[in-house]
Amino acid sequence: MEDARILSLRTIIRQMESVLVAFSGGVDSALVLKVAHEELGNKAVAFTAISPTFPPEEQEQAQKFTKEWGIPHVLVDSNELEREDYAQNRGDRCYFCKDELFELAQKTARVQGYHFVADGTIVDDLGDHRPGLQAADEHAIRHPLVEARFDKKLVRSFAKTLGLPTWNKPSFACLGSRFSVGTRVTQERVEQVQAVESFLRLIGVRQFRARWHLMEDKKMLRIELSEEDMPLLFSKGIRASLNEVAHSQGFYWVTLDLIAYGEPRKR
């Protein structure tokens, strides 16, 4: 028998009658999309915004997912980097990114006749500082996983039960998050970070962040990895190749953060 929260999720989505799901390819939005497709068939559609801050590998995985499950998928171009409030990166960058995303999503939903736009927000997200949730509220975005009280543990468990390849996918955030507050986000800088992260994917690293900094007026790369992934960089050949990639992108300093990704930092 399914968990009561799973039954609740199915009921919530079924009552929407039609829905456009903001789909990043991550485990949370993938679960919403799959259940919506099960409950509503072609009255559920995936919506993905494509921009320089969304890596091509993530786009490919998202498209592979919808193709595999036979789910309609709408892709549109997003231009948040052209918004000065986003580029300034003052701490509320996510608001302007999500504002752009949800404006495009609601416009598509209206044109194509979908009753609601939904995303993959979960209850774990509600306690964080997430300006994007304000944008979601302003655009009347539904959070079916929150409404059904799903946390990350239940999301991964149910996704695994459904056979979703995303069930154990590491968390991911757009490339704009690789810049400290106050550091301007530009397309050139985003592409520099992306090149390094593409290399990390290539060598098999699963959980990573390539952070962009300035130190003594020179560009510094700070790589965060999970503890399990760190040994991959200790091979001389891998280290040399990583340095080559980083230097080709203009990084003078190439560093590995010894605090593993996700570990708490002492202030």
- Residue 60 sits at the vertex; the CA angle it makes with 57 and 63, to the nearest 5 degrees, is 150
Contact of 145 with 155, CB cutoff 8 Å: yes
Residue 128: predicted pLDDT = 67
| Joined tokens for residue 258 | 């010894």
Residue 236: predicted pLDDT = 82
Q: Report the CATH architecture of 4-161.
A: 3-Layer(aba) Sandwich (3.40)
95: pLDDT confidence band, cut at 50, 70 and 90?
very high
Q: Where are the domains of the chain?
A: 4-161, 186-256
Residue 267: predicted pLDDT = 73
Do 4-161 and 186-256 show the same overall fold? no
3-state secondary structure of 215: strand
CATH code, residues 186-256: 3.30.300
